[in-house]
Amino acid sequence: MSRVVLQIYYFALFLHNMKIPVLPKLINIIFVRLLFGCQITLGAKIGKGSQIGYGGVGTVIHDRAVIGKNVLIGPGVVIGGTSKKYEVPVIGDNCEIAPGAKIIGPVKIGNNCIIGANAVVIRDVPDNTVVGGVPAKVLKTDIDITRYR
């Protein structure tokens, strides 16, 4: 089901990029927001192979967010900005974002990272790192992401 959400989003984004009025937003609102219960604003860049768990229930992704390839996003995840800063999160490739995690503000998440359940990330995360807690702290470094998948 997670692939269906992203396929619908990619289709609406394609229409949006083709400058077709109204229809992309309508598709995004009806299918992505109302049917699947998530908010992925048109404009977010989501890499190939990425997945949103459980159909994206409760997931919110900012329209300027950049998400790399093969990222697993759990339900209830928020990837968004703050009211006083223009920049939004940039997430690297092959990351796993556990359910309920919040990634807020001008944060850069490196490649091959794991964000723990309900973590609140407000600082950059280096490559090959596990973070967790509120606010998120580095729990482990130099990980092999294949051991966590």
pTM of the model: 0.89
Query: Span 33-61, mean pLDDT?
Result: 90
Q: Domain ranges in the chain?
A: 39-148
Query: Span 22-49, mean pLDDT?
Result: 90
Integer Cα distance of 71 and 62 in angstroms: 16
Contact 108, 121 (CB under 8 A): no
Tokens of 4: 């269906």
pLDDT tens column, 64-120 = 999 999 999 999 999 998 888 899 999 999 999 999 999 999 999 999 999 999 999
Burial of 144 (0-12, 13-18, 19+ CB in 10 A): exposed
Tokens of 39: 């908010």
Taking the mean position of all CA atoms in its chain, how far away is CA 54?
14
**Fold (CATH) for 39-148:** UDP N-Acetylglucosamine Acyltransferase; domain 1 (2.160.10)
